[in-house]
A and B are shown apart, each in its own frame.
Chain A
Amino acid sequence: MNNSAVARRRFPLSIVVLLAAVVILAILPFYIRGYWIRVLTTLFMSAVLAEALNLVVGYAGYAAFGNGVFFGLGAYTTAVLMTRFGWSFFPAMIASCFLAATVAFLLGWPVLRLRGHYFAIATIGINMAVMEIVTYVGITGGGKGISLPLFPGDIVKQGLFFYYGMFILLIISVAITYWIANSRLGYGLRAIKTEPEAAEVMGVNTTLYKVLAWSISAAITGIAGSLNAYWLTFLEPLFVFDIMISVEAFVMVLLGGPATIFGPVIGAFFLKLLSELIWSQFTLIHMGVLGLIIVVITLFLPSGIMGLWRQMTLRWNKANTARTSPGSQ
């Protein structure tokens, strides 16, 4: 369905739109208030989590329902290193990234052999198990939680630091997805998604590719968790290992369009802005609407907003070529 000729023709326009969006978001903090800066920071974070999940769910086709475990791991690694060992933030963030990636790499070999529901359940199990470990180990502060050092500087500076931190992380995760989608790894993953046996006999090291995709996903998720921990300055296992973090990211991927570069970002913006604008007051109904959206997507929009957009442009292009050159096919 990836019509490269159409994509090439649209290339300049999409680049212009993309650059405009980046510039607008980059200068926006000078024009908006603290509340909206916080909203956008959370939004960027959700988009990062969705984009990272997309590598495993969208491209490789593995339902990593417990991917939030790397968010929690990243958060707690940063918290422990900064609070107990006196590290500064950036080294702690890099350590969090490496730890999350390493855990995914080691767990990936046994767990990614599982197919379908079994893999989904295994990742949920990992999320639960790690949460329990963090709760009962002394160094993490256990169930009482852990406090991080405060960000040095006033509240405006703090807001800008995390806004741009998450924004840059989002750009990096989109760039990584773009690179993967156009590389051997991306083609291998898409092949694994539909016909793993055929991919294997065509020379794709399927286990290695799946493990790599999951590790990259975990690394990005781990950095997001790390930044979030420093931003919140207080962590609790029940909060950062909440399964809803994964579920929400999952909905964003499905809504935006799995296995597309910008789909998860669009899904995140759509869902977050909707929830912020319309039902932020009704916290209980929020879950109900989330569930309703999942049902609607799976029934009517299997390839998300991006899929709908692609169908429309294809139809438009067909109609256009038919009108301009009736003789050709």
Chain B
Amino acid sequence: MALLEVKNVSRSFGGVQAVNNVSFEVNEGEIVGLIGPNGAGKTTMMNLISGLIKVNEGEIRFQGARLTGLKPHAIAHKGIARTFQIVKPFQGMTVRENVMMGALFRSDLRGLKGSAVKNIVDEALELLELDRRAEAPVEELNLAQRKHLELARAMAMGPKLLLLDEVMAGLNLKEIERLMELVRKLNARGVTILVIEHVMKAVMGLSKRVLVMHHGSLIAQGPPEVITQDPKVIEAYLGKRRHKGLHKEAR
């Protein structure tokens, strides 16, 4: 049984079909990439899994249990954490307090005392290399550090599945390489990861399997090397005419 099962899921906004009959699975321990041109429905897909948007048709299952219809906080309690494309730090709190938010509301820690929470927070801060900035007000962090904070908060939740929504966006090459290293480290700790990414280098380097969405539909899935050669994928990214041109050049 797969960890996450998405079965024939659709969602429309007014007349726009943002996600159209999409099905895929994520297995335990995998890093799966989800790519597609702007407006392909990737973020909508992520919002559907985390429950921020309701599914119109189809269903989503996690560890065999239905997620569809649950509130986002209940989905979080089941072990799904996520980051946001536009980072959402809690203003007016320190870095430590931000990470503590992840540990405080874990369903498995209800009733446990502060020391257990503190250990989890310390570990997450260290893992994401934020331990030196722990007592700083969150407003003082730069973008790369804020991205690390999103991940630290998510890790403090003790997730089984981590949804990363364009964590690399806006970072420079060095920062991207460092963050890729960290994402691999989180995965090595047993966290299954679904990454939405525009930075091709990152998504191709991280994932063993890539899903491609276009106009709300899933058009291809497979290993990165296969996906990059798929004519449907090239067409989605570059358009038909350009694709023919490429073909000629290749010959």
Which A residues are closer than 8 A to B by beta carbons?
1-5, 184, 187-188, 190-191, 193-195, 197-206, 259
Contact = CB atoms under 8 A, between A and B. Distances in A.
Given A202-B102, A202-B153, A195 B90 contact: yes
A194 B91 contact: yes
B60 interface: no
Dominant SS among interface residues on chain B: mixed
Interface string B121-139: 0000000000000010100
Interface in B26-46: none
A184 B52 contact: no
A2 B104 CA distance: 17
8 contacts: A2-B92, A2-B93, A4-B94, A187-B104, A188-B104, A191-B90, A203-B76, A205-B73
Interface string B63-95: 000000001110111000110100011111110
B100 interface: yes
B81, B91, B137 pick with most chain A CB within 10 angstroms: B91
Query: 5 closest pairs, A vs B, by CB?
Result: A203-B105, A198-B88, A203-B76, A195-B88, A194-B91
A3, A191, A199 pick with most chain B CB within 10 angstroms: A191
Given A2-B97, A184-B104, A198-B88, A203 B52 contact: no
Given A201-B82, A206-B73, A187 B94 contact: no
Contacts of A199: 90, 101
Contacts of B94: 1-4
A187, A188, A202 pick with most chain B CB within 10 angstroms: A202
Given A200-B73, A201-B82, A205-B73, A1 B105 contact: no
A5 B135 contact: yes
A62 to B, nearest CB: 16
B51, B82, B101, B157 pick with most chain A CB within 10 angstroms: B101
A24 to B, nearest CB: 32
A202 B82 CA distance: 8
B20 interface: no
A203 B106 contact: yes
Contacts of A203: 73, 76-77, 105-107, 157
A204 B73 contact: yes
Contact of B135 (A3, A194, A202): A3
B29 to A, nearest CB: 23
B104 A197 contact: no
B4 to A, nearest CB: 16
Nearest to B89: A195
A209 to B, nearest CB: 10
Contact of A202 (B51, B71, B101): B101
Contacts of B71: 200, 205
B72 A201 contact: yes
Contacts of A198: 84, 88, 90
Nearest to A207: B71
Contact of B92 (A5, A190, A202): A190
A198 B85 CA distance: 11
A56 to B, nearest CB: 16
Given A1-B137, A201-B52, A201-B76, A187 B97 contact: yes
A197 B76 contact: no
Nearest to A206: B73
A202 B97 CA distance: 13
Contacts of A2: 92-94, 97
Interface in B124-166: 135, 137, 153, 157
Contacts of A184: 104-105
Contacts of A5: 135
Contact of A259 (B50, B92, B105, B106): B92
A202 B76 contact: yes
A152 B143 CA distance: 66
Contacts of B88: 195, 197-198
Nearest to B84: A198
A197 B105 contact: no
B101 A191 contact: yes
A201 B107 CA distance: 13
